[in-house]
A and B are shown apart, each in its own frame.
Chain A
């Protein structure tokens, strides 16, 4: 049986032969608009394959994400995408958008030049105009018409995804780190409705399993599904059967557990987890679960994050009232900013110290891909803020692959350092 949560672009076309997809790299792309236009937004992340084709287009001092994404496209692995959308974030993505357009002349490659000064008084009206232009381009290119109703629907579906992912994050300490990662990855690959249903059922199953610890997962969640009068569940039409949801949950948890080195049961009691040093991950994105495995295997646990494949992706819902484009513009200006945005550092810094307090974190791990300028810029002041707050931190610079003895030594030494305190 296929893994219920899709985990890579590779299997996308086989799984959704009748769906249309548009690719993107950065969470400043308003997925709601793509959804409303009938496309599944598919987020590209770095693949672990060695770069073969992109070296002829991008220099070695370009980040691995840009190089790998272009490489996948040049290798013909992204043929199912009918277009690519690039929002304006960093200098590299700005160049990548142009390089993409030059190399794929027939493809729908477009940009959304998001404001940088997000707090400025004129940013909202500018972004509304820019989003409307994006909409028009979609309509012109694909000969479609996107109604406000469709946009409203897109907003509701994505808000539901945000809400469900938020619920999942509250149970983070009960979920193996790689499973949490896989689910978040799936949320940026799968059609959102399907993903929402799957995650909603999984959350239910998880809660019932926690209630009935010693019963088998399948049994407990079946009974839960058969007897529950949960309002949230009944209000929504369940598309997949309780049985398949249960097997989904089972395969996820138990396969996830198997993959965890020094694996602990997914439903570990809090007594055990509390002995593991509690860490927060900070960086642009997390694209390689092997890092999580390494951290977990060495005895740490990730309790929160500031990465845009994590919390930054699903925080801040879009208002469901009023003009949808206005509401979207507002959300993308108000969300927890990425370091490319003006005035982002004080907000990021405050949020990070807050996270550390709320989650009683014992350490912060910066996972910074080499040549990611905006995050490299924020690292020294964030490190300083953490020093001031008395939170130890570790810098991991990653390149094409996350592995190697040096990475292990750094993480181990850091965990030893914070454990002996």
Chain B
């Protein structure tokens, strides 16, 4: 029933195949290519240019969440003494490690290397150190200083110097060398894919919007997992064509678009369709969000290490609350939104703490209502369906009154 309210994209199956192929390749068809676990904000271009195959435990967490299998993994981590208040991606990952091949999707393949970049949070540091102990695998920590006001030149130099270290680290542990030509090619794929993803998101300015939040969340997978590959570029070309067609033919993602909303924070994976269907029922479509656009960062031309340093240090989650508030405000205005919904995500403190202040400031400055929904991205045990439904209903009534 909920599926009906969700208009499936034609290329959905291609996406499934693409992601499945990625995991199959990681497990069976690497032909000796070293495998690295990396965080979503790691400078993967450098690794790919050194012929290292990256997999993303965060993506694995999201998959388990969407399949309703994350709670069991979280419980396995809690049984080892890890607090139930820690990030549910990380707990899923720890649970998966202890379950080995019995874990959902057969678990992630054992890493040869771990590369952790703290531009998304401090949790990844502790999580990757735990993985490093568990697998007895070398870990590289790329330290990207948080930007409270402006990106300083010495921060860029600090990060660029560490990227040089990273190259030496990979070389030492895999014997692979950095291929400068390949790096250029890979950066170009990255830029093509992110440009396409950015354009696809832009198409949602249309009324009705061709995509809704579940589309954005499902289709962001390649921009993270396969960022900087030819396959990602191919997929986003296809998606772009389909979305453009929807716009040209006036097809909306939801049956009757009455309200346009902006989403903040990571998805509630275990309720991806059901949650948004409460909005669809009331004619509300999410036309943009702060999260899936966060990965559409272009790498500038110039000395590659400095560009990578600049780009990866400036990731939106590595910037101040004011910056992220402004980002939300810009999205609301740019996409002509009528309101916004913030997911207060217990798992993600750096993304969520401060949302109350952002909400006040944004609704004051652009005079549209916002609401905060308390939940968690993977741990359904802290989710209260009834409370959430009541909140959504009350929020939609405010929108009705305003409209």
Contacts and interface: CB of A to CB of B under 8 A. Distances in A.
A376 B353 contact: no
Interface in A104-123: 111, 113, 115-117, 120-123
Interface stretch (A54-62, A142-150, A357-365): A54-62
Contacts of A59: 344, 346, 352-353, 355-356, 374
A380 B354 CA distance: 29
A96 B353 contact: yes
Given A59-B344, A62-B353, A342-B143, A91 B154 contact: no
Given A373-B123, A376-B86, A377-B126, A99 B154 contact: no
A94 interface: yes
Contacts of A56: 356
Given A61-B349, A102-B322, A373-B126, A379 B148 contact: no
Contacts of A133: 152
B125 interface: yes
B354 A95 contact: yes
B366 to A, nearest CB: 17
Please tell me the size bucket of the interface on B. 35 or more
Interface stretch (B5-13, B158-166, B201-209): B158-166
B298 interface: no
Contact of A98 (B121, B122, B148, B352): B148
Given A95-B349, A130-B154, A115 B145 contact: yes
Given A102-B357, A117-B143, A374 B350 contact: no
B384 interface: no
B199 interface: no
B83 A376 contact: yes
Given A61-B346, A380-B81, A91 B161 contact: no
B295 interface: no
Interface in B107-122: 118, 121-122
B85 to A, nearest CB: 6
Interface residues of A, number: 50
Contacts, number: 140
Contact of B165 (A98, A103, A121, A376): A121
Interface of A: prevailing SS: helix
Interface string A355-388: 0000000000000001101101111110100000
Contacts of A62: 349, 353
B29 interface: no
A91 B123 contact: yes
A30 interface: no
A133 B145 CA distance: 14
Given A58-B353, A340-B122, A116 B85 contact: no
A126 B349 contact: no
A349 B186 CA distance: 41
A221 interface: no
B353 A95 contact: yes
A47 B222 CA distance: 47
B143 A116 contact: yes
B126 A126 contact: no
Given A56-B356, A129-B152, A371-B85, A88 B162 contact: no
Contacts of A383: 81
Given A59-B344, A374-B126, A379-B81, A126 B148 contact: no
B85 A111 contact: no
B353 A345 contact: no
A73 to B, nearest CB: 14
Interface in B293-316: none
Interface of A: 56-59, 61-62, 66, 88, 90-92, 94-99, 101-103, 111, 113, 115-117, 120-123, 125-126, 129-130, 133, 339-340, 342-343, 345, 370-371, 373-374, 376-381, 383
Interface of B: 80-83, 85-87, 118, 121-123, 125-127, 129-130, 133, 141-143, 145-146, 148, 152, 154-155, 157-158, 161-162, 165, 320-322, 344, 346, 349-350, 352-357, 361, 374
27 contacts: A57-B356, A59-B352, A59-B353, A92-B353, A94-B350, A95-B321, A95-B349, A95-B350, A97-B148, A99-B321, A102-B322, A113-B155, A115-B143, A116-B125, A116-B143, A117-B142, A120-B141, A120-B143, A123-B158, A129-B152, A130-B154, A342-B143, A345-B129, A373-B349, A374-B122, A377-B82, A381-B133
